[in-house]
Amino acid sequence: AARRIRAMGHPIAATPIIALTANTLDEQRVEYAQAGMNDCIGKPVQPPELFAKLFHWASTPWRETGAKLEAAA
């Protein structure tokens, strides 16, 4: 789904995408970034981490997000 959103070619394509997953190994995070996701949160979700990530991406101008996964950078 992230690849399809990124391929849309209009402003919605820059919407930050955060994966919620139990698979958070470094190589998996790289795969998420390559798929166009900006970040990921491991399951079980911890509310403080969720809120921190949401705040971070909500306060980042969309045009600056690209498709870079924070943890893989």
Tens digits of residue pLDDT in 15-67: 899 999 999 999 999 999 999 999 999 999 999 999 999 999 998 776 555 54
The per-residue pLDDT for 72 is 45
Residue pair 43/51 in contact (Cβ under 8 Å)? The answer is no
pLDDT at 71: 43
User: For position 59, what pLDDT does the model report?
Assistant: 87
pTM value is 0.76
CA–CA gap between residue 64 and residue 34 (Å, rounded): 17
Which residue would you say has higher pLDDT here, 45 or 70?
A: 45
